[in-house]
Every structure is written in C-alpha cells, then in structure tokens.
Amino acid sequence: MEPAVDKLLNQFLAVAEAGTISGAATALLVTQPTLTFNMRKLEENMGVPLLIRSPRGVELTEYGETLYRNARLMRRLYDNTLDALAQQRGRTEEGLRIGTGYSWWTVFIRDFVIDYSRKYPNAGIHVSVGNSCAAWINCLAATSRFSPPTRSRVSAPAPARASCR
C-alpha cells in the first residue's frame, strides 16, 4: 500500500534517491514520461525549480535539497503515526480475563463478555466460572502466564478446583 503522504512527494523522494528519473520510474513501476510530467507538476506547485536535469541524471537544487529533507521527515512522521496507531489498536485488543461465580455470570457478566467480543473481535477472552473466590484465584494465577490468544473466544470451563476458606 502506498503511503498517504502525497504521491508527488513520494515520487520526488524516489527521483532524488535514484539520481535519475528513469531509475526512479522503474523502482516506482511507472513510466518515465509520467514521472517527468509529475516532477514538472511538483515544481510548478512549489513555484521553484527542484531538479537540475542533465543527460547523466538529475541533481537537486537548493530548493530540492530543502524539499528532500522535509519530505523524508514527513514520511518518517507518517510511518511513526501508523506504528503508534497499530500499537494503540493492539493494546485495545490484548484480551480479557474474568473470574466469576455462577450467579454473577448469568445476571451481569455474560452480556458484558458478549458485547466485548463483538466490539473487539481480535481480543482473546477467558472466563473462569465457579465458586466466586476460587474463580478469582484461578484467574489471578493464570494471569501471570497469560499470553494473548490469536482468536477471540468465550469459554466457561468446569467449576474451579481451588478452595476458599
């Protein structure tokens, strides 16, 4: 997927890094005339010459150097933003682990868990149902070695084995 950073800026970066329009066109999978047209359009939009063209390739003008530095920063900032969003989305969908008694499960928790699984379909869900105290002990014990599952599921295992005194 091509980044949402302006297409002309991405093409300009490719030209600057390749040193030739034809080399950049090959890397970008576009034709050389299309890329030449787009570079002229970018220069027109910016109102300054960005490239010095010669038979051996292109060199950046002083304006081109400024645009190149800033376009690279913009691309890094965009990539960092995508990474931050992916991490944020991952934290939201890490999972849910609940220990509950039978009466609480039926009256309150079940609907919450179903709604949660619909809202976060990639989140792993584990529900321990049984004697309330034992269910909480099992839930806490399992949390220390919890690794988020890859699929969302709701499970109600057999009654808890631990005892509460």
Categorize the per-residue pLDDT at 16 as very low, low, confident or very high, splitting at 50, 70 and 90.
very high
Categorize the per-residue pLDDT at 164 as very low, low, confident or very high, splitting at 50, 70 and 90.
very low
* CA distance to 16, 50, 71, per residue, from 65 (Å): 9, 8, 10
- Of 4 and 120, which is predicted with more confidence? 120
Categorize the per-residue pLDDT at 151 as very low, low, confident or very high, splitting at 50, 70 and 90.
very low
Categorize the per-residue pLDDT at 128 as very low, low, confident or very high, splitting at 50, 70 and 90.
confident
Structure pTM?
A: 0.54
Which stretches within 19-61 are classed as H helix?
Answer: 21-28, 32-46
Q: What are the residue boundaries of the structural domains of the chain, listed by start?
A: 7-90, 94-143
CATH number of the domain at 7-90, please? Answer: 1.10.10.10
Closest CA relative to residue 63, chosen from 78, 79, 46: 46
* Average pLDDT value for residue range 117-143: 71
Reduced to 3 states (helix: H, G, I; strand: E, B; else coil), residue 128 is: strand
DSSP H or E run through 132: helix 132-143
pLDDT at residue number 161:
46
Average pLDDT of the chain, as a whole number: 80
**Measured distance CA(50)–CA(42) in Å, rounded:** 8
